[in-house]
Amino acid sequence: MAELPGTSSGVNGSDPQEIVDDPLGVFTRESYNYPGGQPLVASSYTSTRELDGQCVALQLNTVDPSEVRRLLPRLRWVVEHQADLKRRAVEAVVHAFSDGAATAEDLAEAHDDLLLETIVAESNGDVLLHLTDSCGGHMLDGYWPAVRFDRDDTLVRVTVEA
pLDDT in tens, 3-36: 444 555 543 344 688 999 999 999 999 888 888 8
Averaged pLDDT for residues 78-92:
98
Q: pLDDT for 129-159, tens place per residue? A: 999 999 988 899 999 999 999 999 999 999 9
Averaged pLDDT for residues 110-129:
97
Averaged pLDDT for residues 99-124:
95
The pLDDT, as a whole number, for residue 13 is 41
The pLDDT, as a whole number, for residue 6 is 56
Cα separation, 131 vs 93, in Å, equals 10
SS3 95: helix
The pLDDT, as a whole number, for residue 112 is 96
Terminal Cα distance for the chain, rounded: 38
Higher pLDDT: 5 or 38? It is 38
- Alpha-carbon distances, residue 65 vs 21, 44, 49, 50, 139 (angstroms): 12, 10, 20, 24, 35
Averaged pLDDT for residues 78-104:
95
The pLDDT, as a whole number, for residue 50 is 97
Degrees, nearest 5: CA angle 68-121-131: 145
**Residue type, position 93, single letter:** V
- pLDDT at residue 97 is higher than 70: yes
**Residue type, position 66, single letter:** S
Compute the mean pLDDT over every residue in the chain, rounded to the nearest whole number.
90
Q: pLDDT for 43-67, tens place per residue? A: 999 999 999 999 999 999 999 999 9
Strands of the chain, DSSP E: 7-9, 18-21, 25-28, 31-32, 40-41, 45-51, 54-60, 114-121, 127-133, 144-149, 155-161
Q: Of 133, 105, 123, nearest to 45 (Cα)?
A: 123
With 0-12 / 13-18 / 19 or more C-beta atoms within 10 angstroms meaning exposed / middle / buried, residue 131 is: buried
The pLDDT, as a whole number, for residue 110 is 96
Q: Of 73, 41, 46, nearest to 61 (Cα)?
A: 46
Relative to beta strand 40-41, strand 31-32 is antiparallel
